[in-house]
Every structure is written in structure tokens, then in C-alpha cells.
Structure 1
Amino acid sequence: MILPIVAYGAAVLRKVAADITPDYPGLEQLIADMWETMYASNGVGLAAPQINKDIRLFVMDSAQIFDNQDEDEENNYPDAPGTKKVFINAHIKKLNGKDWAYNEGCLSIPNIREDVNRPEEVELEYMDEHFVKHTETFNGITARIILHEYDHIEGKLFIDYLKPLRRKMLQGKLNDISKGKSKVSYKMIYIK
């Protein structure tokens, strides 16, 4: 089932999400719905707060970025051909490498894209959808998507990385998003 995406301005997007246990009600269906919602919205990642659930859960599929690259696009990312994973109760262990800029967007903040600097590599401890514990290092585009989605479960948004003047310049657009005045091709909900 395709779920509505929570728009910028909702309190759930600013809340630190809680760990869950394997008996979380309807978890298997929730994960399936998150995949369906993410793909239907043309996203590469989706965190539970974006569907109004304050739990530490996100899904991501960086393979889509590589699959959709033009043949002439330069591919200097070490994580090709990408990764598709479910992350439950994720916690960052370590960040490594230099910060690098990439133009990011967010399903909860439609029609705004900005360059964001993030580290090259992240070491993450998480559970998969079967509650098997992993400690794994990710890099490249995959690391970037993970860090973006991880921010969601920490109550942060990509616009928090922007310089104050740039944020101020975007405030009108952000206000419009929170009031439902932004056109999107997917279902959004506007809550406070």
C-alpha cells in the first residue's frame, strides 16, 4: 500500500525516533509499504518519520542511482552498482573520510534541492528486517543516502546543513510546503 509522505513542518520530522523490537506490530507489512511508497514517489530512501512513525526504521536503494545514470555520466563512486537494504535501530559507530558535496532533495521537502556536504564513509550498527545485527561500513552514494535517512530518525533534515542565509532565502518555499501549497506527484499529508 502506498502511504502518504509527511510534509515539512510536521513535528514527527523533528523528533528523535525510538528503537523497536521484533514484535513491533505489522512490521513486515510496514516495510513492504515503505518500499512501495518509496518507489512510487521516485525516492531512493524513505525513513519511518516520513510516513508519520517515530521509529528507527528506514529503507534505501542506491542501485537506482546507478541504474538511471546516462552512459556518458562519469561514475567515480566506489559503491557501484549500489545497495538495497532495510535498516532497523541504526546507530552510527564512526564517520570517515573527507566531506564532499552532492545535490540532495527530500520527499518531505519537495521541489527543493541543495548541495550538502557529508563524509565519504559511515560505519553503522543496525538490524536487518529479520533482526539480525550487522556492523557494516558504507561509502559513496550509498553512504550519503544512509546518512540522509539516518538524519530523519535523529530529527534532522538536509536543510539543517545549509548556511543561515540560504535557509532564510528558502523560508518562503518551506512555508508553502508546510501549508500544502507545493505540487507533488505523490500523496502528502500536512500535519503539525
Structure 2
Amino acid sequence: MIHPIVIDGDPVLRQRAAEVTAFDDELRTLVADMFDTLAAANGVGLAAPQIGVSRRVFVFDAPDEDTQRRGVMINPTMAIVQRPARFLAQGLGKRPPKSLTDVEGCLSFPGPDFDLKRHFAVRLTGFDEHGAPIEVDGEGWFARVLQHEFDHLDGFLYVDRLKGKDASEARALSKEFGWGVPGLTWMPGVDRDPFGHDDIDDDDFDEDNGAE
């Protein structure tokens, strides 16, 4: 089932989501609905607060270099990884970057994107929808996806981390679009895609990273 996505301004996006305590059919339905919504929105990550559910759950369906990474994280904790194993195994050097600046977008701040510095490598531990412990490592762009979704569970949007003129521009755009008030949503698969996927001709299609 596809759900409408909550837009910046709704209180659910600005509060710490509640821990999941029951790994039951209701939770598994939520996870399945989140994957459906993520696919319809052409995104790479989606947190439960983005569909109005204040629970510590996020899903991702995102490429990590040549590997498609798809999964769910429930009640996650996150640690910064200083010496990511895959980076070293690829012979890329003994001193991987601590951080990386790249472009980000957000399904709850639909349309605009900005450059943001994130940790280069992180490790998340948590549970799947059945309550089994899981661990996910991310480097580079995939680490960015994980950090972005983890932020949603703590009540932060990526634009909250912007500084200087980018922060000012994000605030101005939110005001221009009429955001910043409760109750605003957009419906994937029904409303015009705010990231422009509807505007791309099949002959000119160039797959991008999507939004989170």
C-alpha cells in the first residue's frame, strides 16, 4: 500500500520517533507499505516518520557501487567507522577520508537538493521486521543514505544540517513553497513527481540516485 509522504512542517518530522516494541504483523505490514511507497516515489530511502508514523523504522533500496542494497533497519544505533574494511581491501589507501561532501535530496523536502558533508563510513546495528539482529555497513554514498534516514528517526531533516547561504536558501524555498505548516503531503504515483522523473523521456532517461 502506498502512503502519502509528509512534507517539512509537520510535527512528526521534528520529534524523536518511538522505539519499536512489538515485532508483529502490524510492523511487517508497515515495512511492506514503506517499500511500496519508496518505489512509487523513486527514492532510495524512507523513514516511518515520513509517512506520518512515529516509529524507529527505515527502509532503503539503494545502489552501493555495483551492489544493490535493499533492507530495513528497526531501532538502529549508529557508529562512525574510521577504517572501513572494504575501502582497505580495495587497496585505496590506509587513510580513508573521514567525511565526504555530496548532493542530497529528501522526499519530505521535495524537489530542491543541496551539498552536505557526511561521515564517509558508518555501521548500523538494529533489527529486521522479524526481530532478528542485523548489521549494515555503508561507505561513501550508501553511508550518506544510512545517515540521512537515521537522522529522520531523531527528528532531523538534512536541510537542518546546512550552513550559510545553503541554509538560508533552504528556508527561503520552504517559505516560497508554502511549507512549514502541519498537514502537507504529496502522493507518490498520483501527484507530479517533484524530482522530475515524470519529465524524463524514455529515450533520454539517465538513472540517478533518487531521494531519501
Q: TM-score range by the shorter chain?
A: 0.7 to 0.9
Question: CA contact under 8 A between 2:59 and 2:71: conserved in structure 1?
Answer: yes
Q: 1:25 to 1:53 in 2, by over 3 A?
A: farther
Kindly indicate whether residue 151 of structure 2 is the aligned counterpart of residue 151 of structure 1: yes
SS of the residue 1:62 aligns to = strand
| Contact 2:23 2:129 survives alignment (8 Å) | no
Partner of 2:14: 14
The secondary structure found in structure 1 opposite 2:68 is coil
Aligned CA distance change for structure 1 residues 57 and 116 (closer, same or farther; 3 Å) = same
CA deviation profile, 1:91-120 (whole Å, cap 9, x unmatched):
113343511111110000011100111111
**In the alignment, what sits opposite 2:196?**
none
8 Å CA contact 1:48, 1:55 repeated in 2: yes
Letter in 1 for 2:125: E
Amino acid at match of 1:94: I
TM-score by length of 2: 0.74
Which residues of structure 1 form unaligned runs of 5+?
64-76
Map of 1:93 onto structure 2: 79
Distance, in Å, in 1 between the alignment partners of 2:128 and 2:185 is: 34
Residue aligning to 1:82: 68
Q: The residue matched to 2:67 in structure 1 has which SS? A: coil
Number of residues paired by the alignment?
A: 173
Spell out the pairing of 1:25-36 with structure 2 (5 A cutoff): 26-36=26-36
When Rg is computed on C-alpha atoms for both structures, the one with the higher figure is 2
Provide the rounded CA distance (Å) in 1 between the counterparts of 2:98 and 2:12: 31
RMSD of aligned Cα (Å): 2.4
Unaligned runs of 5+ in 2: 83-96, 192-212
How high is the sequence identity, in percent, across the aligned residues? Answer: 36
| Aligned-pair CA distance for 1:138 | 2.0
Residues 110 and 177 in structure 1, CA contact (< 8 A), matched pair in contact too: no
Q: Displacement of 1:24 after TM fit?
A: 5.3
Matches within 5 A, 1:28-177: 28-63=28-63, 79-96=65-82, 97-175=97-175, 176-177=177-178
Cα distance per residue 1:99-145 (max 9 Å; x no partner)? 11111100000111001111111121110122111234322222111
1:178 maps to what in 2?
179
CA displacement 1:2-55 (0-9 Å, x = unmatched): 100000111111111111123456111111110000010111000001001111
